[in-house]
Structure formats: structure tokens, C-alpha cells
Structure 1
């Protein structure tokens, strides 16, 4: 039975899922939803189906795999990881995967804050990021983010060390998450990995995987936009 993944017609929280489906040679269909233009950014395409799919917690992205219906991007990645033995083998590897899963979410959230914020004004408002809504305190966030980015990347570089993959010698679903967030930051701040040779090697190693390389050359590949139309930065 063909797997279905549903998400906005953007990269967003689904990129690592798409990459993992491609890497595992999973046959899948994509159901994409578009938002309207400013100022309303109409979401009726998704909202008209949201509660008709049998999802326990209706949200985007979602994955329907036979009788299994999942939401929450990391839950989907873990499900696929278990299915394809990509969750780490030793306890140490599993711990590293757990740490990375949550560390990437923190880094991703910080980039979302900057991307959906007005350039620099001090304000406090609810910003809708599609499936996610956050209360953001917005004050000079872009320059502060760029200033702190080397420190953020340093911890990833130190954690990887001389390993081929972040959990150990074998790839895990966490590598798909880390690749995604590092690539997003390369779009946001070109050259940000120049001081981190092991991270650059990791990126090249990941992109060199045959299934990933083929996907990146295909018409299905979607690197940008990273975020919805309502974002101040979408990666384009």
C-alpha cells in the first residue's frame, strides 16, 4: 500500500521526512496544500480536510501508512526510523539520536522566530507558521541570530567530531534532521559552515548518498521556499 505524506507546498517541517522516504526507497504520494496570498493567507485548502482524515491530532505534516496515521514531524521520522532500523543500534547511539532530535528542534525554532518576524522592531505578537503558532518576543532578532550562529554550529561540530554520522558509524534518522537544519542555515547565512570542515564534509557525504543525490536532481525536490508566504524570509 502506498504511503501518503501531507504538508504545505513548502519545505518547512517536511524536508527531513521527504528525504528519509526517498533514502528508504519508499513508494509514497504527496498531498500538498497551498495558502492564499496576503493579507489573509487563506488556509482553507487544508482546513477543509483537516478533520476528515482520521488523524488523532490533526496537523501538518501527516503520514498515512496503511492503518497507521501519524502527525508531528518527529513522531513521523521516528516511525520511519524504527521501520527501517535507523534509530541507532547501541544505547549510546540511541541517546545521541534523542539528543539531536531535540537539539535540532531548538535550533529550528530559533530560525522560525527570525524568519516570521518583522526585521527588527520590538513587539510581541502571535505568529502563525502553518502548523505551528508561537509567542515571539521580537527585538533585533536577525543580527542577534547571526551573531550567535557560530556558537550554535560549534556544538554540532563538536558533537559530530570525527564520526561519519552524528550517532556513530551508521546513518540514523537524526542525520536527516541535522542535514535539514544545517542546510536551512546555509540558505539564511551563506558561508556559515566555512569554519567547520567536519560539518561541510557531513553535508557532502549526505548529499552524495545515491538515493539522496538522485532525489535532489529530480523534479520532486523542493529546497525552497522554506517557510510560508507569511514569513519575512522564505529562503528564496
Structure 2
């Protein structure tokens, strides 16, 4: 059984950056998809800090808030290798920015055309082998950015 469990709605939303990080670092995880009906009718909402998702479990540790989860994963998976030159080190923040930029490219195609450095950044990170495989997977491609919409 994977050591990580993500509880979230059937969208990319606030969890896609952590999915990217986990995939890129070669980790497996379990998804507990929370439907609107489950969220409104089950005790899950009352059990969540601030009554919000995502909820993330790492063994006995339960975390809420997407950036806190990303920081935890960044530390626990040592995302930046101190042996690599600084320009090649990756941080949990890279996954957050990559998710934001990829989402914008879906919502506004061509939005990075006037920003060659950002475009190159997206290309470089998206080419990392494990991350590239995740970004091409049905789990990513078929998951809408926001709930109930194509995007």
C-alpha cells in the first residue's frame, strides 16, 4: 500500500502540484476522490481543518493546506539535491509554479508566447522523464482543472 493518501475532489485544483512532485520523485500514492455529495453529507468535512480539502496522509501524519503539504514532501523527499549545481536543483515551489503555468496554458493558449524564459522553464521541467510520463497520463490529462468543467 502506498505510504501517501490524497483526499480531494475529482479535479486538479490544489493537489496537482503535489501529484507532480510525487510522480517526479518516483513515489506512489493513493487517491481518495471526494464527490460533492460525499463532501456535503459525510463527516469528512467536519473532520478537516478549516473544513477544507486537500487532506493528505503520510503514514500517521495528516496534513491540510496544499502549500504545507508541498513543503512537507519537499523536505521528506529531499527534492533539492545538494550535490547538484544550484541551477539544476528542484524545489517544491517549482511544482507549484509549473502547475500554475500549465493551467494558464490550457485556459489561455499562447499566454507564454511573450515570455520566452517562462516558456523554456515549462519545457525544461515538463521534460523530466517521470514528470513527463505523469503529464501525459490519463490521470492528469482527463482530470479537469476546476470542478464540473472541461478545463
What TM-score comes out, normalization by structure 2 length? 0.84
1:158-179 Cα distance to aligned partner (Å, 9 max, x none): xxxxxxxxx8431111110111
Which of 148, 165, 172 is matched with 2:91 structurally?
172
More helix by share: 2
The reply to whether residue 28 of structure 1 matches residue 34 of structure 2 is: no
Which of 110, 114, 120 is matched with 1:195 structurally?
114
Say how many residue pairs are matched. Answer: 146
User: Distance between the aligned counterparts of 1:88 and 1:60, measured in 2?
Assistant: 30
Q: 8 Å contact 2:80–2:89 — kept in the other structure?
A: no
The reply to whether residue 50 of structure 1 matches residue 12 of structure 2 is: no
For structure 1, which runs of at least 5 residues remain unmatched after alignment? Answer: 35-42, 90-166
1:9-52 Cα distance to aligned partner (Å, 9 max, x none): 01111110110111111121001122xxxxxxxx3312414157
Across the aligned residues of Structure 1 and Structure 2, the Cα RMSD in angstroms comes to 2.3
Q: 8 Å contact 1:185–1:192 — kept in the other structure?
A: yes
- What does residue 78 of structure 2 align with? 85
- Measured after TM superposition, the shift of residue 224 of structure 1 is 4.3
For structure 2, which runs of at least 5 residues remain unmatched after alignment? Answer: none
The reply to whether residue 185 of structure 1 matches residue 104 of structure 2 is: yes
Q: 8 Å contact 2:10–2:143 — kept in the other structure?
A: no
Q: State the structure with more CA Rg.
A: 1
